[in-house]
Amino acid sequence: MGNYADVVTIGESMVLFQPYNGGGIKYAPLLSKSVGGAESNLAFGLSRLGKKVRWISRVGSDPFGELILSTIAGEGIDVSHTEKDPHEPTALYFKEATTPGDPSVYYYRRNSAASQFAREHIKPEWFEQAGHLHVTGITPALGEHTVEFMKEAMKQARAQGLTVSFDPNLRRKLWDDHTAREVLLELIPLCDIFLPGLEEAEFLLGEQSSVAHGAEFLEMGPSIVAMKLGEEGSIGFTKNGYYEEEPYKVKQVVDTVGAGDAYAAGFLSALLEEKNFLNEEKSAEILPKALKRANVTGALATQFHGDWEGAPTLQEVNQLMNDQQAVTR
């Protein structure tokens, strides 16, 4: 038997290359390498917040796969269920910041090892001795069989007694809008906690108030919906009503990539401190704290160029939550 995991997460991580001294890729003489992927970003964030995490994926039998496994394991995350594919490569992506605002991202992930995920890869031991499963809308977009794979994984985790959270993490470069909308809406009823951003909510349900979005998402099946509102903070919904939490202010934004994953890590870490957080009264009671922590971890992630390197420890988060002035660290 493996070790207990507070959270299991399944998805693809890639090796990220970006110009060492910033700027564009075209004439950059040196690129630095690191690891990025929504689910591993979340795993890093949760691990630093004191949670035990099991990360499940497929990587190529190549140096890039080795780099990903050693980096993730080095942060205290269980990678023992991740498979090495002898035929398909590890995915890569490149990031450059040539204009102010969000960087440009170029993916080289088609036919990667993780894009081959199919229902038959799912094993009951993935979810044994575990409390919670977190998935994103990126994995179903990766390959031919990944939609069915994701649905089945969510159903199996629930059947084995785990609670499930789902972040749509919309990536329009990976699939067409019609397919994305259809699949993401089909996955919402399979989760207990749904974590969209405001733009994703509008993409899925059209333009309306965030309160109307929240009510509509709850009707689809989740018990808790937490919606990121960017600079406006965030808003959480349970069957008992909704709660708005002010943003955590930072002086300047360096890079927003990974901020949503950091937000999810903060939110889940607070929920998981309570035993039956899906109980209606319990969830309404814990929501303000979870949103506040999520706003802090999400904001801090915008202060670093990496996808997860700036993830704070629980001690740092508590210090910042008690000490509300803006930080520039």
Instruction: Tell me which residues are annotated as active site.
Output: 261
Name the residue among 167, 165, 78 with its Cα closest to residue 125: 78
Q: Please provide residue 250's backbone torsions phi and psi, each rounded to the nearest 5 degrees.
A: -120, 155
Q: 10 Å Cβ neighbour count for 172?
A: 10
Q: Are the beta carbons of 105 and 94 closer than 8 angstroms?
A: yes
Q: Are the beta carbons of 40 and 12 closer than 8 angstroms?
A: no
Give the integer Cα–Cα distance in Å for 276 and 279: 6
Pairing of strands 92-96, 14-19: parallel
Give the integer Cα–Cα distance in Å for 58 and 37: 13
Give the integer Cα–Cα distance in Å for 177 and 37: 21
H helix count then E strand count, the chain: 9, 14
Measured over the CA atoms of residue 94, residue 184, residue 168 and residue 198, the dihedral's sign is positive
Give the integer Cα–Cα distance in Å for 112 and 235: 36
Distance in Å from the first CA to the final CA of the chain: 41
Residue 300, C-beta contacts closer than 8 angstroms, at least 6 positions apart: 248, 250, 262, 310, 311, 312, 320, 327
Q: Are the beta carbons of 43 and 72 closer than 8 angstroms?
A: yes
Name the residue among 1, 274, 35 with its Cα closest to residue 131: 274
> What amino acid occupies position 94?
F
Residue with tokens 């649905």: 151
